[in-house]
Chain A
Amino acid sequence: MKQTQDSEGLIERYLLGELSAAERAGLENEYLVDKAKYDQVCRIEDDLLDRYARGALSPVDRERVERQYQTNPWRQRHLEFAKAFAQVIDEEPAARSAAKRSTGASWRSNLADLPRGLRGALWMTTAMGALLFVLGGTWLAIETSRLRARLVGARREVEEQQQRAQTQTRLITELEERYKKLTEEHERLQAQLQAVQNTAPLPSHIAPVFLTLSVEDFRNSSAQGPQALVIPRGATDARLRLYLPENVFPSYRVTLSTEDGNEVFSKNGLKPRADKAGDFVIVNLPARKLRTGDNVLTLSGISRAGEIEPLGKSIIKVRKR
Chain B
Amino acid sequence: MESVSSSEKERELTPKAFTKFLAKLAPDPEIAGGEYEELRRRLIKFFEWRGAFFPEDLADETLNRTARKIDEGEEIEKNVIALALGVAHFVFLETSRRPDNRRAEMEELITVAAPSEHRVEDDDLRAVYLRECMRGLSKDSRELIIEYYREEGRAKIDDRKALAERLGISLNALFSRAKRIRDRLEQCVTRRLKRKPGGDSIQRPTAPKSQVPGGDPQ
Contacts and interface: CB of A to CB of B under 8 A. Distances in A.
Interface residues of B, number: 53
A73 B189 contact: no
Given A32-B42, A39-B176, A113-B127, A90 B150 contact: yes
Contacts of A43: 175, 179
Interface of B: 38-39, 42-43, 45-46, 48-49, 51-55, 79, 81-82, 84-85, 88-89, 108-109, 111-112, 121-128, 130-131, 134, 145-146, 149-152, 172, 175-176, 179, 182, 185-186, 189-190, 200, 202, 217
B112 A71 contact: yes
B186 A46 contact: no
A51 B149 CA distance: 11
B49 A115 contact: no
A74 B55 contact: yes
B149 A50 contact: yes
Interface in A6-54: 14-15, 17, 25, 28-29, 31-33, 35-36, 38-39, 41-43, 46, 50-51, 54
B126 A80 contact: yes
Contacts of A85: 130, 149, 182, 185-186
A17 B52 CA distance: 12
B51 A72 contact: yes
Given A32-B81, A33-B82, A113-B128, A83 B45 contact: no
Nearest to B134: A88
A70 B111 CA distance: 10
Interface of A: 14-15, 17, 25, 28-29, 31-33, 35-36, 38-39, 41-43, 46, 50-51, 54, 56, 68, 70-78, 80-81, 83-90, 92-93, 113-116
Given A84-B123, A84-B127, A28 B202 contact: no
A91 to B, nearest CB: 9
| Chain A residues touching B, majority SS | helix
A311 to B, nearest CB: 144
A35 B145 CA distance: 21
Contacts of B127: 84, 87-88, 113
B46 A32 contact: yes
Contacts of B124: 113, 115-116
Given A74-B202, A76-B112, A89 B175 contact: no
Interface centre among A32, A80, A84, A93 (most CB of B within 10 A): A84
Given A39-B175, A54-B152, A31 B42 contact: yes
B48 A84 contact: no
A238 B175 CA distance: 144
